[in-house]
């Protein structure tokens, strides 16, 4: 039987080991808690025509809310510096990103960001630059920035350009080799267009799995962004950074949800997102 002093000593050792372990876990760059929140926008335009647009009015309100509540927007390079060098992110910091490269980012989002001296990352789809898709059954409008506009955005020190593949194809539509080409070629294209390294990648619809993480790493991106962690954060967390979906749901003056999402970025349930991709998982796995 242990003496009282020995018991206390063991308890102290146990507590130290345990709390230290927990502490290290918290600081590990492989954990969601290590990342500053990331917002994922699509198009910004005066009239929204689908559920992933945000109206110019709501967008302005969200940027003003960030400013008035002491948030600073991070540049992609600062974000990278914190992740790679295991530095703590500034308290109340956020990374703003836009997927798909719709024309509204140039026309409406960039001017509002500039007015407030805010940083952002624009993920563009190589083959859709300068194109316009016919309106869908809901009369939604999809037109994309031109390469000249991408070039102009890239010269602004507030902004960075990332890749969102060549064609925005879903993984089950392509082979692994084709996907590898999509990731690699789009990066090369952006680097040639902007004259700057293309360091970040965003997965179309936020879907990824272990194989896709490997491809992104192989294509030499520094960071890659998803929508949710899909339970794979223990793999390569910096290649699957979750983002807060800023669609219509966050708009319509829904500042309460916006605030909640920002403050709970590190704890949002991953299960609901995993559910969302179940069909794609099965389809894609059958193919390989």
Shortest distance in whole angstroms from residue 99 CB to Zn ion: 4
**Of 100 and 182, CB closest to Zn ion:** 100
Alpha-carbon torsion angle 8, 14, 17, 21, nearest 10 = -140
Q: Which residues fall within 8 angstroms of residue 151, CB to CB, at 6 or more apart?
A: 193, 194
Among 43, 53, 58, 99, indicate the residue that binds Zn ion (CB under 5 A): 99
Of 53 and 99, nearer to Zn ion (C-beta) is: 99
Q: Which is nearer to Zn ion, 101 or 251 (CB)?
A: 101
125-154 positions binding Zn ion, by CB under 5 A: none
With CB under 5 A as the contact rule, the residue among 43, 53, 58, 100 that binds Zn ion is: 100
User: CA angle at residue 249 from 248 to 253, to 5 degrees?
Assistant: 85
Q: Residue 169 CB, nearest distance to Zn ion (Å)?
A: 11
CB of 13 to Zn ion, least distance (A): 51
Segment contacting Zn ion (CB under 5 A): 86-94, 95-103, 128-136, 228-236? 95-103
Cβ-contact 167, 182 below 8 angstroms: yes
Residue whose pair of structure tokens reads 């230290």 in the numeric block:
20
In the complex with Zn ion, which residue's Cβ is closer, 71 or 277? 277
Considering only residues 3 to 62 of the shown chain, the ones binding Zn ion according to CB under 5 A are none
* Nearest distance, CB of residue 264 and Zn ion, angstroms: 24
The nearest distance, CB 274 to Zn ion, in angstroms, is: 19
Q: H or E segment at 201?
A: strand 200-202
| The Cα angle at residue 280 between residues 34 and 41, in degrees rounded to 5 | 50
Query: Contacts with Zn ion: how many residues (CB under 5 A)?
Result: 3
The tokens of 100 are what?
């798909």
Minimum separation from the CB atom of position 226 to Zn ion (A) = 11
In 5-136, DSSP assigns E strands to 38-41, 44-45, 54-55, 72-73, 93-98, 120-124, 132-133
Q: Are 108 and 46 in contact (CB under 8 A)?
A: yes
Give me the half-sphere count of Cα atoms (radius 13 Å) on the Cβ side of residue 264: 10
Rounded Cα distance, 36 and 91, in Å? 9
Residue 76's CB is within 10 A of a number of other CB atoms, namely 20
* Residue closest to Zn ion (Cβ): 99
Of residues 170 and 268, the one with the C-beta less far from Zn ion: 170
Q: Which 182-211 residues touch Zn ion, going by CB under 5 A?
A: 204
Least distance (Å) from Zn ion to the CB of residue 125? 7
Task: Give the nearer residue to Zn ion in terms of CB position, either 37 or 204.
Answer: 204
Stretch binding Zn ion (CB under 5 A), from 94-102, 128-136, 215-223, 250-258: 94-102
Interacting residues with Zn ion (CB under 5 A) = 99-100, 204
């Amino acid at each position: 039987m242990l003496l009282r002093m020995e018991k206390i000593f063991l308890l102290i050792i146990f507590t130290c080991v345990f709390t230290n372990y927990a502490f290290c876990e918290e600081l590990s760059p492989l954990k969601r808690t290590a990342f500053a929140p990331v917002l994922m926008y699509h198009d910004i335009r005066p009239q929204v025509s689908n559920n992933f647009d945000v109206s110019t009015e709501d967008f302005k309100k969200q940027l003003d809310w960030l400013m008035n509540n002491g948030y600073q927007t991070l540049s992609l390079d600062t974000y990278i510096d914190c992740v790679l060098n295991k530095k703590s992110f500034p308290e109340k910091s956020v990374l703003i990103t836009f997927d798909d490269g719709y024309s509204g980012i140039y026309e409406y989002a960039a001017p509002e960001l500039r007015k407030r001296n805010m940083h952002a990352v624009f993920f563009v789809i190589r083959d859709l630059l300068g194109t316009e898709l016919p309106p869908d059954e809901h009369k939604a409008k999809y037109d994309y920035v031109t390469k000249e506009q991408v070039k102009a955005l890239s010269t602004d020190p507030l902004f960075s350009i990332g890749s969102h593949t060549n064609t925005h194809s879903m993984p089950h539509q392509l082979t692994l080799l084709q996907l590898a080409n999509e990731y690699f070629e789009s990066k090369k294209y952006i680097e040639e267009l902007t004259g700057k390294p293309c360091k970040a990648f965003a997965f179309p619809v936020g879907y990824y799995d272990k194989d896709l993480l490997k491809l992104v790493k192989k294509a030499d991106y520094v960071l890659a962004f998803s929508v949710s962690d899909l339970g794979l954060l223990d793999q390569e967390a910096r290649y699957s950074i979750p983002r807060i979906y800023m669609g219509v749901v966050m708009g319509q003056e829904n500042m309460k949800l916006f605030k909640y999402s920002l403050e709970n970025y590190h704890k949002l349930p991953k299960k609901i997102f995993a559910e969302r991709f179940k069909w794609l998982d099965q389809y894609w796995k059958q193919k390989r």
